[in-house]
């Protein structure tokens, strides 16, 4: 049975960080005057994430900075000094990544959430704890043989999905990050990471469980890559955990093959 703390953590992970009233309100039984008033109120249109490409100068700056990094520490400093992405202005922390250098398995997610932004560490909220359990079940951990990071190092406001422009600006840094870590296996945690790093249009439902090849000019050889459901999705759709378990077993099997 879930405790109040569990429910609050779930709300935070979903981006619900404010209350809008002190008492519950049955909106199916509103007084007639409130219904009429609600119809008369003109609300602003919803804020939409833009799909327009970022300015060339900002993209060039990101490419130039990331290409100069010769190790993870240099990349982290260059990322911290990058001011081209507006997400940095609203985030509390830059979440670079966590794990061992040259990991056997590198997990790349979408973007930090509220817990990650507060602590400065990737995947530490409810979905992060689930990912840790999934990894542990097949002998993986960020302390021993794996690394965890995200496409976007700053939390989007309200945990919204990052825009195409934001992904484009951050992509050079995560690509260089992968090159420096040079993992044996690359795991895309969710559809955003898969679509961005492989430039493929498939949904995560179609992509998961299949092996792909990830290659950039900075890699000595292609890296076997696979997509899995994001743990946040599994928390909302627990019936899909059986597929996630199958994918984790597939990753473990591939890793054993590569070690032979």
Q: At CA 193, angle to CA 135 and CA 49, rounded to 5?
A: 135
Give me the percent of the chain exceeding a pLDDT of 70. Answer: 82
Which pLDDT does position 56 carry in this prediction?
Answer: 85
Which pLDDT does position 50 carry in this prediction?
Answer: 46
pTM: 0.80
The class of domain 57-259 in CATH terms is alpha beta
137 neighbors 217 (Cβ within 8 angstroms): no
Cα-based distances in Å from 32 to 28, 29, 36, 37, 38: 11, 9, 6, 9, 10
Under the banding of pLDDT at 50, 70 and 90, the label for residue 25 is low
Stronger pLDDT, 183 or 41, i.e. the higher one = 183
Which pLDDT does position 38 carry in this prediction?
Answer: 39
Lowest-pLDDT range of 27-31, 36-40, 50-54, 116-120: 36-40
pLDDT tens digits, residue range 162-208?
Answer: 999 999 999 999 999 999 999 999 999 999 999 999 999 999 999 99
Which pLDDT does position 35 carry in this prediction?
Answer: 39
pLDDT for residue 33 is more than 50: no
Which pLDDT does position 16 carry in this prediction?
Answer: 56
Stronger pLDDT, 188 or 45, i.e. the higher one = 188
Which pLDDT does position 3 carry in this prediction?
Answer: 76
Half-sphere exposure of residue 12, counting CA atoms within 13 Å on the CB side? 18
Between CA 68 and CA 149 the distance in angstroms is 20
pLDDT for residue 123 is more than 90: yes
DSSP for 181-205, written as a single string: H--SEEEEESHHHHHHHH-----HH
Cα-based distances in Å from 246 to 15, 65, 118, 160, 209: 29, 39, 32, 29, 8
Give me the percent of the chain exceeding a pLDDT of 90. Answer: 77
pLDDT tens digits, residue range 60-93?
Answer: 999 999 999 999 999 999 999 999 999 999 999 9
pLDDT for residue 12 is more than 70: no
pLDDT for residue 46 is more than 70: no
Stronger pLDDT, 5 or 209, i.e. the higher one = 209
Which pLDDT does position 9 carry in this prediction?
Answer: 63
Biggest CA–CA distance in the chain, Å, is 73
């Amino acid at each position: 049975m879930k405790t109040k703390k569990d429910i609050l953590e779930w709300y935070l992970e979903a981006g619900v960080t404010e209350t809008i009233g002190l008492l519950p309100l049955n909106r199916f039984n509103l007084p007639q005057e409130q219904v009429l008033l609600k119809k008369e109120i003109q609300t602003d249109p919803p804020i939409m994430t833009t799909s327009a490409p970022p300015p060339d100068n900002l993209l060039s700056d990101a490419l130039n900075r990331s290409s100069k990094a010769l190790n993870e520490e240099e990349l982290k400093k260059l990322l911290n000094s990058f001011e081209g992405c507006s997400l940095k202005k609203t985030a509390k922390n830059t979440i670079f990544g966590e794990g061992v250098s040259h990991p056997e398995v590198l997990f790349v997610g979408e973007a930090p959430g509220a817990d990650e932004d507060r602590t400065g560490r990737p995947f530490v909220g409810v979905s992060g704890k689930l990912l840790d359990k999934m990894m542990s079940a097949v002998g993986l951990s960020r302390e021993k043989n794996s690394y965890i990071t995200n496409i976007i190092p700053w939390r989007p406001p309200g945990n919204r999905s990052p825009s195409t422009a934001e992904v484009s600006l951050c992509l050079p840094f995560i690509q260089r990050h992968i090159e420096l870590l040079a993992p044996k296996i690359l795991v895309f945690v969710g559809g955003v990471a898969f679509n961005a790093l492989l430039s493929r249009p498939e949904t995560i439902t179609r992509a998961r469980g299949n092996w792909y090849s990830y290659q950039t000019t900075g890699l000595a050889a292609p890296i076997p890559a696979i997509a899995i459901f994001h743990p946040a999705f599994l928390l909302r759709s627990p019936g899909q955990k059986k597929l996630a378990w199958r994918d984790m077993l597939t990753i473990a099997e591939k890793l054993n093959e590569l070690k032979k």
